[in-house]
Structure formats: C-alpha cells, structure tokens
Structure 1
C-alpha cells in the first residue's frame, strides 16, 4: 500500500466522546483503528474525531525528544553527559550537525497532520448530524493550532493533503506542495481561530476542553508572530520564498495592535480561568489542572488504558509523558557514610522516588551556568527559581528499607532522613569549595565547605554531569509515596497553554507599538507581582509566607524592551518548550544563544568553559523530516525544492 503524502494515517488510540455539560467530566477514550472517510459518516465517528485531537496532544507534548527540539540549543538548555546525537545535533556547538534525519522536530510533523486531517473530516461531515457549532469549533481550534505550530517550525506547509485545500484526504498520492507562510496564516490559522472564538463556549465543556479564551490566546500569538514575520527585522529568509506582504492588505503594525486587543479581551473576559496565587501553585503536582492551565496533554495515574502507556515501564516513546527524564541528572549515586570518619560502608541516600524532585534520570539536557547566574539572578524576592528547579537533594533512604536513623555526610557531620545531602548553591560562596577533598569524598564530584553536612556545588561548578533538575514538570503521584516503579512515564498532564501568557503576548505587542489601556510594564508587573508571592520554600522544604510583590514591581524597568520580555518569559516558562519559538519569533536566537558556559562531562570537571554556537539564518526553520522526504515520489529537483534551504 502506498504511503500518504503527509503522515496523516492515525494509528494511535482513537476515541469516542461522552457528551456532557458538566466541566468536571473527562473525555473517555475507546481504542479504534484508522480514520477513513467512512468513519465520519456517523455521529459517533465525528465525535470520536474530536476526542482524538485531544488524545493526540500526548504524542507531542510530554515527548522528551520534542522538548529537546524546543529547548536544546537555546539559552535555556545544552546537552548533558548522557546525551546522544539527538541532543548534540540540536545544540549547534560543534559536536554534531542538525540534519533532516537527526532533527527531532519530526515529532511535530509526524503528529500534527493527523490532527489536521481529522479536523478536516470532522468539519466536512459534522454538519450532517445534530452536532453543535461549539463542538465543531473545537476541531477548528485544533486545526488552527496545529498549523500555527507547523508554520513556526518549518515555514510554509501544505494546506492540500491530497484532496484539496483544507479537505479530508484519503488519497495515497505520494506528492506534495508546500503553501507559503502567508497563505498558511491567512487561509487556515486566522480563519479557524476567529471562527473558534465565535463558536466556542466561555467555560470548557469538559475538564481541559478548549474555550473562547484559549482560542483568543492562540489568535493573539498568531497575530503577534505573523507581525514579526512581516516586519522581518534581521532579514531571516522564509520558505517557500514569497514576499513579506500580507494577502489581506494589512501591515505588521495592524497585526501587533490586534494581538494586543485580542489578548486584552482574553484577560478581561477570562471565563473560568484565573492566575494562581503563587508560582509554586502553578507547578506543584498536587494542584494540576488548575484555573491557569488552559490546555494540556492529559495523563492520569489511575488508568494505563487512558494514557496508552504503561505506568511501570516506558522505553521513551509517546503517548507516555517522559519529557522530565531528559532534564534529570543521575542523583541516585549520592552517598553518605555509615560512620563519621568515612571509613565504613557507603549508603545511597537519595533514592528514585515518586516525587517531583526525584524522577528517572536520562541525563540528556543540562542548563548552562548563565541560567542560574543571570536568568534567575534574583533568588530572594522572585519565587520562580525555587519553583522551577531542584537545588536541594534530600535523603529518603528509609523508603529503601534502610532502618538506620543517622548517617554521615560532608565533614563527617550527621544527616537524617530529610536532610540535605547535596545542595546547588544560589551564589558563589565566600569560602572556597573543596572539590578534591580526599577524606569526605563525594562520588558525584560535589565539594565540601567547612561546617556543612551537605556536599555543595556552586553556580560556577555546574557541569554536564551534575546540574539542577527541572522540578516544575517532575514526577508526581498522589496515590503512592514509596519508591514505586520508577521507569514509568509521568502521570501528570503536560502543560501546553497557560492563562498567564495573555499578559506576555499583550506586553510584547505593546513593545512593538500597540496601544491601549495597559502598558507593557503594567502587564509584565501583574506576572512579576505574582512571582514575588511565596507560600512555600520548595528547596528549603519549609513554609515561607512572604509578599515581595512591591519589590518585584519596583524593580521592573520603566522602559520594557523585547530582551526584557524574553528574559521574563524564560523565568516564567523555563523548560516547558517555549524557548526556541520565542527566540525564532523575535529573531533573537542567534544573539541570545550564541554562547554559553558549563563544566565538562566528567563528574570532577568544575572548570567553566565557554562554548560557542553557530546559528546561521537558515536554521531559523527546521528541516522537513527525512521520513517525509523518503515517502514522496518526486524527482530529485522537486525533492530539493521541497526541503528547506541549507539542509
């Protein structure tokens, strides 16, 4: 059987929809085979197609290789000591080369068109049945959403999958033609999202369902991104080649203004959404699916059937949520001694636990030193550093059945269950760290400071071997507190869109010249004020009730720049898959990610080294995946013309 020209055959878990007006109900999924046009000839088939689009989010978001594609090579992440070519190629620092075969943006390409073609089928056939416009609007949202992700990543992509533009395709034709960026925006993304806003409800139909406010966020983001594309301040090439003119006759400023207006509509008419009171509340696993989470790839600890993935073992594949593995170093080697002189038996004191700080370590992605020293420079007033990373690794040896009450850490000082075994320091200490101590020898290369029972690593000592874990997307189970089966995927929903981003979109549009009731500083200060509010010191493992919002707002510059917006976005959404898109949209990637500092891969290498990246303009578009190129029956010249230049 011939392959589709675009990978649109659905071979994942498909679904039927349990209709309900109660927003507390979840989508119920039933395994099916492959969508064909006949599948949409029934009401059940149309409804199943809608639910599939939610399920298909799990094949992209929470996938560790997609997180790699959106983070590695930016100023947020480089490769860790366990990284293979997937990460080194994306880093662009001379240890690999990004190619159509190695780019992990294939995760998006291979799954987005499945949702797009399903949406085409739903919208073509849904009118035959007594299906509300609001339900059909969910399909419109997902089609616009997926095209928006594709056009940002690859440039222009096909609107015709084989049976006409935005039509459901059953064809096995193995040819393809890419539309231009402006065509994808003006024919698909904008019309779909505008119609979705018109027809979607203000409150979600089911838990995690799409709404007017969510569609407003993505229309505002699309307008903002397209405005940048029209303006093209750094002469980044587009492909397929086309003039930077809008078919609708509008200029970049029109799009910036409308991005601002629509984002403000979302803020002022939030429906059921609201900011959480603290940044800790946004990310703590016990509070998942809260009012700030607008869209997520859902998971549950209660049903492998729902997840489509084993809760006890995952080899690193979707739809399981394994993204947090990539950002986790192997802390499980941390040891303490059975005696104060450190001459007796050693005990591994930090076990892999079903807790946010202690997930499965794949050691693939490490934050550079600049993240700790520059991005999160304020660790006293701003709660986001503490609410983003694991900086303190605490003992939990009792959960491994070890009954000893006291062991001994650095300097031969006693430690108990819950004591800090290793701490990444906030700043460089006044006392020199002894990384080569021969008596109290850390087996992960950490150092010793007199008087402290915990081994330490300072910001300048961060290397590719040992670094801060990404706590915010870490593992969490409510029903089990033991060591469990640590090789399963994360049963938490993976965040895709948050209500807070409306403030950032409006602020960025204001920096680009949009005007209205709120300035860029006003909007950013809403987020910064929240960042100054603490209720829990995560790494101190102690209550901390402080309100530093006034200090945070006062420290905000009077004039907000794009660089400041980007810095704030990094503090707010660090490690969640936003960064590459942010740097590409604003054409700041080559400037902000051109170099970084980190120690080497050896556990004893605490000498910071500067690494330089080579980011030519063609890299602002990812390559069309090699699997797609191989699947098409085109002449060599046609294939060359289909691929993005430079690859």
Structure 2
C-alpha cells in the first residue's frame, strides 16, 4: 500500500493549467482543494494534473531539509551550531542515527507517490480524453523523474500502487510489494523517458516546461546510474535482493555507452538551452530562469498566490512548498559588531538582516567543512566558482536600516563606511590573524585582526560551526528592497533548479571514463565547463566588475587523464549547495571513501582550532530507510513488514 486518499488522488493541493501556444507563456496555477478520480476522465482534469506535476517539484527542490539530506554527511557539509537532530543525524558522526523515523531521508518517499499516481492517470486516460501525446509525455517524463529519485534513494520500489503495475489507482490498499531495481528501471524509467524524447517538443510548451533535451538529460543520468548499479565495483548491497543482471541481457558497458550517446545528442541538439557565459551569470538572481536551467521548482516575487507563500512579511515558513534552502547554509552575520566611537569601543551593529543575495535569513544549520574551502575550491584566482558560490565578504549595511552615522570603527579601530568590508574570510592560511583569547572579542564573533586592515578576518583553518562562509549562489534575491533592507524573512521568491544543461557534459564525461567512446573525450567535455569557470565578469565578494578570462589557465591545469575522482571534484565545484552530492557519491559508490572524515572548529565563536571528525558510513547506508509511517500503515504480517524495510534499519 502506498498511502493515497481516494478523494484527493493527485495531491492535497493541485493546480489547473491554462493552455498557451508558445513557450513565452507560463503555467497558470489555480489551486483546488479536491481532485477526484472522475477528473481524470476529462480533458480539463487531465491538463490540471499535468500542472500539478510541475508544482510538486516544490515539495523537494528548495526545501532546506531536502538539501540537508543530500549535503550533510557528504564531503560538502556538516552540521552547524544551531542544527537540530535532523541535521546532526545526517552527519554520520555519532551525533544521532538514521533510522526509519528520520525525517529528511523519508522526504522522497512521502512526496512523490501521489504524483506518480497522477501521472499514471494522465498516461492511462489521456488519449481517450483527447489529450495530445506530447502533453501525455510530460507526465511520462515526471513519472520517470520520480521513479528515478525513488530507486536511487531506496532501491527497488513498488510499481503497483493497488491497481496493477503503472496503473492509475483509485482504491486504497493495505498491502504493497517492492519491485527490484532492474524492474523499476526497465519497466518504468527507461520506457517512459524514451517515449518522452520521441514525443516532447524541442522547445518548451510553457516557460520551464519539459522538452526532448530535458528528457535526454534525465535518461542519460538514468542509464549512467544503472550502469554503475550493474557493475557494482565496491560490492554495495541492493534491496530487494536480486542478481545484478539486466533483464534484457545488456551489460553495464552498454548502458555507459547509451548514457554517453544520449548526453551527446542533448549537447548537439540543445533546442533553446545553452551554457551561460559565466558562472556568475548562471547564478545571479537577476538572471533566474536562464536557458541553462532546464527544470526548476518555480517561485515568484509578483504574487503570493503564485508563490504559494508570503512575500511581504516579517516572518516566513520553513516548509514546502516554500524555497528556504539557502537559510540552512547562512550563519548569523547580524551578530557582527563595530564601534560608534574611534577613541573607545562603543559596540554597535554594522550588519543587518537584508533581502540580498549575499545575506538573507540566517539559520546556521549546515556548514562547509574546512576541506571544502581549502581543498575543493583551492584555486580561488583562476576559477570563478568559489567567488560565485560563497559569501566571504560581509559589507556594512547599517544605512539600509535607517542609521544615519556615516562612519563606524572596526578592526584596529579603523574607519568603515556603508558598503565597506566589515568581516572577511581569507582565501588561504598564508596570513594567520590574531584571534581574541577569550569571549568573542570586539567583533562579537571571535574574528581576528591583521595589521592595517579595517575588516575583521578569519582564515580557512579558523572556520567553525558558528562562523563560516555563507551561500551566495542560491541566496535571496528581491527587486523590491528600495533603499532599505527589504523583506529578508519570507521564503525565497527565486526558482530552485532541478536539472541544468551543464550536466549533459558531466554525464557524458563520466560515461567516457567508464569506457564509452565517441568524438569527445572526458577531458574535452570537462574542459568546456572549466573554460567557462575561468571567465569572470564580476567579483561577488569584491563587489566590483572583474572582466578576466582565465580559460586557458583552467584548461592547462586539467589533468591529461580524467578519473572519476576528478569528475566528482568538478561536480562539487559546479553544483555545491544544490543538492546533487549524496546521489553523486552513492552512484559512484565513493561516499564512504570521500566523506570518511573532515575538520572544522567547534560551536563557540572562539573555537578556531580545527577538530578532525570521523564518520561511520556502512554499505547499508547507501540506501535510505523506508519511512516507518509507510510500514506501520500496511496491514500485513510482521515478517512481511520486516522484509519490506531495507536491511540495517
């Protein structure tokens, strides 16, 4: 039994679609409280269901706990000072355990099954209701998308929701049987996506709508992932237990080649999609919904109705369907202090919470490790991605809060003005600042000083769980701040990406490393991304135009032989903070190796001595537990329930 309410088959909150003729139109979402099986016999009901499939991306993408599930415990992040058990348990460092009641690991299961059934209804009834195959194939895409998420997360999952495999279920059941991993791929994911590629348009029907290229990217990722699963280089267990033999007799190598070929087809036939000219352009809020972002959970500043969340308020909801992921990686920069006087210390707040991409609402739940700052992003000169990912300079904004003082005094009692650097993270440890020996010092955050500098500073080795570089790339962006601080507390009104055109290059490169052949080598493909990373038009942390092309240096630094480890290094530089990482490490079976230990300071402001932390990641952790709520709701014998759960939980 997958829990589905008969009277609200698709979801608890659905939307209808106004048909439009061009991709310059948008989805017109009209929320409905009740959506019944009878709706799937009408053209209007089915088209409403298609829009619901787009809307359901908001249940995961942009949710901070979903980001936590896919970053904390990997080589990208650990728990931060204000973390609760949802974050500490995900770290795999004996601060809690992942079990069948762990909320973040159950999010996929709880979010997607109602929408799989929505897709089932559209696919089953669409043609008889006069729906075009191109629109039905949007549902095929999302069914493949959701099953791909499920199989990567939990292993084999049910294809039968109560009325037969891949059938529209209107009759809640109290039993459930999990299919095997090969069955999920070969019966659901691959056929759906192949047919979607055949029938989807080259250009999106509506802004953000799925296309042939979108489906190619998803199919290439699925082929690549299944190839790894068949190969199983590190003997990671699967469940339900089954031999790692493809039902059609195809080898892992065949799937790697298919992944390469499909990804290359997407690169060569991009439709409207393309790489943005720089990493900064890709991620700046004023350029959201650019043509590198192929699929996203959309939000808007224009309307609370269409945003599904408050826009102009002193509060915000940290839950789906809101976008609040950036809060988790944002520390409480508002605790930074300067002085009102130059002759004696008179503490005052020089940093105020603001609705800007570098600031936003601080929750201090997740932190990058020291290794991320020092090793992953070691090249901070040629490669623009460190500057375009993190906030490392915090600039005075007291004027935006209505404070009229033109000058405050900061480190070394030197004057600072609005817009000046108040606190900075240094790029490296070549200069180690003098930190306060007790309490938090005049800065109030334990920051250090360097001679002649007016900004407080912390070196990479001094990062801790309470003060660390924040996240810029997915941060708050508003156009209605005026001359003030704006509305930093409501959830973000930016879209949150799920699929990007750039990933076609990574998928093809990884397949090439795994033995696929073609006109472009892994190095050729990776260098397209690295060349772009070397181009600067603006320095986020310098807050100044920076027109510089380091592409040649980036390409020259690429090793002649590309390995899986190198691809994983490049993937984290490209997608840090976007929720890719756990799936990347699980696919390549490198999670335990790459995330085995990390270093970071403690939870107090003055904790600048790195502590090495060891994680315990066992083979069974490569699958998440089936949520306890699912198992408790099944009316089956205890031994059947026990066998339904993934081993180890």
TM-score normalised by structure 1 residue count? 0.98
- Whether contact under 8 Å (2:4, 2:114) holds in the other structure is no
Q: Pairwise CA RMSD of aligned residues?
A: 1.6
| Superposed counterparts of 1:453-468, under 5 Å | 453-468=454-469
Q: What's the CA shift for 1:103?
A: 4.0
User: Who is 1:511 aligned against?
Assistant: 513
Give CA deviations for 1:201-235 in whole Å, capped at 9, x if unaligned.
01111100000001000100000000000000000
Distance 1:609 1:438 in 2: 19
Structure 2 CA distance for aligned equivalents of residues 342 and 98 of structure 1: 51
Residues 258-306 of structure 1: CA distance to partner in whole angstroms, max 9, x if unpaired? 1000000000000000000000001000000001000000000111111
Counterpart position of 1:499: 501
- Alignment match, 1:607: 609
Give 1:153 deviation, angstroms.
0.3
Q: Give CA deviations for 1:120-166 in whole Å, capped at 9, x if unaligned.
A: 00111111233211111100000000000000000000000011100
Which shifted more, 15-24 or 382-391?
15-24
Secondary structure in 1 aligned to 2:294?
strand
Matched, 1:277 2:277: yes
Aligned pairs (5 A) from 1:199-278:
199-278=199-278
- Give deviations 1:4-35, integer Å, cap 9, x for gaps: 49998444431111111221111011111243
1:300 aligns with 2:300: yes
User: CA offsets, 1:301-326, max 9 Å, x none?
Assistant: 11111122222333311101111111
CA gap 1:342/1:440 in 2 versus in 1, 3 angstroms: farther
Equivalent residues of 2:159, 2:179 under 8 A apart: yes
Query: Matched residues in 1 for 2:59 and 2:219: separation?
Result: 23
Q: Counterpart in 2 of 1:424? A: 425
Moved more, 4-13 or 282-291: 4-13
The residue that corresponds to 1:541 in the other structure is: 543
Match of 1:472, SS? Answer: coil
Aligned residues: 645
Matched residue, 1:436 = 437
Whether 1:187 and 2:207 are equivalent positions in the alignment is: no
Structure 1 unaligned spans of 5+: none
Q: Offset at 1:550?
A: 0.4
Secondary structure at 1:96's aligned position in 2?
coil
Q: Which residue of 2 aligns with 1:163?
A: 163
Contact 2:440-2:606 at 8 Å conserved across structures: no
Tell me the secondary structure at the aligned position of residue 473 of structure 2.
helix
Contact 1:5 1:173 survives alignment (8 Å): no
Question: For the structure 1 residues 439 and 605, does the alpha-carbon distance in structure 2 shift closer, same or farther, using more than 3 Å as the test?
Answer: closer
**Residue aligning to 2:389:** 388
Match of 1:16 in 2: 16
- Structure 1 pair 403/262, CA: closer, same or farther in 2 (3 Å)? same
User: Comparing 544-553 with 441-450, which one deviates more in the overlay?
Assistant: 441-450
Structure 1 counterpart of 2:377: 376
CA-to-aligned-CA distance 1:366-392 (integer Å, 9 cap, x gap): 000000110000000000000000000
**Distance in 2 of aligned mates of 1:29 and 1:324:** 25
Contact 2:411 2:455 in 1 (8 A): yes
- Say if 2:426 and 2:457, in contact at 8 Å, map to a contact too: yes
Partners of 1:583 and 1:7 in 2: CA distance = 39
Partner of 2:636: 634
Partner Cα distance (1:59, 1:438) in 2: 42
**Deviation for aligned residue 1:39:** 1.2
Separation in 2, partners of 1:364, 1:446: 20
Contact 1:155 1:180 in 2 (8 A): yes
CA distance in 1, matches of 2:570, 2:494: 25
CA shift, 1:440, in A, is 6.2
Cα deviations by residue, 1:510-566 (Å, 9 ceiling, x for unpaired): 000000000000000000000000000110000100000000001000000000000
Q: Distance in 2 between matches of 1:4 and 1:287?
A: 39
Partner residue in 2 for 1:36: 36
Secondary structure at 2:498 match in 1: strand
SS of corresponding position for 1:447: coil
Taking structure 1 as reference, are residues 363 and 440 closer, same or farther at Cα in structure 2, changes over 3 Å only?
A: closer
CA contact 2:288–2:495 (8 Å) conserved in 1: yes
State whether residues 476 and 492 of structure 1, in contact with CA within 8 Å, keep that contact through their aligned partners in structure 2: yes
Q: Tell me what 2:102 maps to.
A: 102
Partners of 1:8 and 1:620 in 2: how far apart? 33
Contact residue 528 and residue 553 of structure 1 kept, 8 A: yes
Residues 68 and 365 in structure 1, CA contact (< 8 A), matched pair in contact too:
yes
Q: Distance in 2 between matches of 1:622 and 1:440?
A: 43
Is 2:147 the counterpart of 1:151?
Answer: no
In the alignment, the residues of structure 2 paired with residue 438 and residue 324 of structure 1 have an alpha-carbon distance, to the nearest angstrom, of 29
Per-residue CA deviations over 1:388-412 (Å, capped at 9, x if unaligned) read: 0000000110111100000001000
Provide the residue aligned with 1:79 in structure 2: 79
**Contact 2:387/2:540 (<8 A) preserved:** yes
Matches within 5 A, 1:86-125: 86-125=86-125
| Contact map agreement 1:447 1:457 (CA 8 A) in 2 | yes
Describe the shift of the 1:303–1:24 C-alpha distance in structure 2 as closer, same or farther (beyond 3 A): same
- Mapped partners of 1:35, 1:150: distance in 2: 24
2:432–2:459 Cα contact (<8 Å) kept: no
Residues 182 and 247, structure 1, Cα contact 8 Å, conserved in 2: yes
Deviation readout 1:45-73 (Å, 9 max, x if unpaired): 00000000001111111111111001110
Distance 1:594 1:9, change over 3 A: farther
**How far apart are the structure 1 equivalents of 2:7 and 2:508?**
35
CA contact (8 A) 1:436 1:447 kept: no
SS of the residue corresponding to residue 546 of structure 1 reads: strand
Looking at structure 1, the residues matched to 11 and 256 of structure 2 have their Cα atoms a distance apart, in angstroms, of: 39
Matched, 1:291 2:291: yes
Query: CA, structure 1 residues 607+168, in 2 after alignment: closer, same or farther (shift >3 Å)?
Result: same
Q: Following the alignment from structure 2 to structure 1, what is the Cα–Cα distance between the partners of residues 409 and 291?
A: 44
Specify whether residues 628 and 6 from structure 1 end up closer, same or farther in structure 2 by C-alpha distance, changes over 3 A only: farther
> 2:66 corresponds to which residue?
66
C-alpha contact (below 8 Å) 1:7/1:114 kept by paired residues? no
Write out per-residue CA displacement over residues 455-497 of structure 1, whole angstroms, 9 at most, x where no aligned residue: 0010000000000111100000123343233221000000111
Map residues 472-621 of structure 1 onto 2, 5 A cutoff. 472-481=473-482, 482-621=484-623
Q: Quick one: distance in 2 between partners of 1:87 and 1:585?
A: 22
